[in-house]
């Protein structure tokens, strides 16, 4: 079955380290997204990509970086510049417009990042 795989499910980072969260999809979706969710909070968009080799900043991009070298993959790096990285990170994908409007997003199961 097609879907989105996020790994690892749990990740621990020491102060000052960069870490990379993996997101892979086999849905043949063009667009991919990264969201951050803090306890009891809604979703905040970090970065998104509508097509390979192109991506845009979302609402809270500072301290994060992404790449989109393949259609299937959209890894997120949490850099040491991100001062409060402990959160739940969600990856999603969607079909390109105009199809996207009627189908919404498919989400991965998330990665919980904790700074130790």
Partner 1 sequence: GDSVTQMEGPVTLSEEAFLTINCTYTATGYPSLFWYVQYPGEGLQLLLKATKADDKGSNKGFEATYRKETTSFHLEKGSVQVSDSAVYFCALSPNFGNEKLTFGTGTRLTIIP
Order across the sheet with 19-25: list the strands.
4-7, 19-25, 76-78, 64-66
Work out whether 23 is an interface residue with partner 1 (CB under 8 A): no
Work out whether 50 is an interface residue with partner 1 (CB under 8 A): yes
CB of 97 to partner 1, least distance (A): 6
Work out whether 39 is an interface residue with partner 1 (CB under 8 A): no
Would you give the DSSP letter of residue 70? B
Neighbours of 55 (CB within 10 A): 20
Retrieve residue 98's tokens. 């105009």
d(CA 31, CA 50): 4
d(CA 74, CA 91): 8
Q: Among 67, 77, 80, 110, which residue interacts with partner 1 (rule: CB under 8 A)?
A: 110
Work out whether 97 is an interface residue with partner 1 (CB under 8 A): yes
Choices 11-19, 33-41, 61-69, 75-83; region in contact with partner 1 by CB under 8 A: 33-41
Q: Among 19, 66, 90, 115, which residue interacts with partner 1 (rule: CB under 8 A)?
A: 90
Neighbours of 22 (CB within 10 A): 16
CB of 16 to partner 1, least distance (A): 28
Site residues (vs partner 1, CB under 8 A): 4, 6, 33, 40-43, 45, 48, 50, 90, 92, 94, 97-98, 100-102, 104-110, 112
């Amino acid at each position: 079955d097609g879907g989105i795989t996020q790994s690892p499910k749990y990740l621990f980072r020491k102060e000052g380290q960069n870490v990379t969260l993996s997101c892979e999809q086999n849905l043949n979706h063009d667009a991919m997204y990264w969201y951050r969710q803090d306890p009891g909070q809604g979703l905040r968009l970090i970065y998104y990509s509508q097509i390979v080799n192109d991506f845009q900043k979302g609402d809270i991009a500072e301290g994060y970086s992404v790449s989109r070298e393949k259609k299937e993959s959209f890894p997120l790096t949490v850099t040491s510049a991100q001062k409060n990285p402990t959160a739940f990170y969600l990856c999603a994908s969607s079909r390109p417009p105009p199809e996207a409007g009627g189908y919404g997003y498919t989400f991965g199961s998330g990665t919980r990042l904790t700074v130790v």
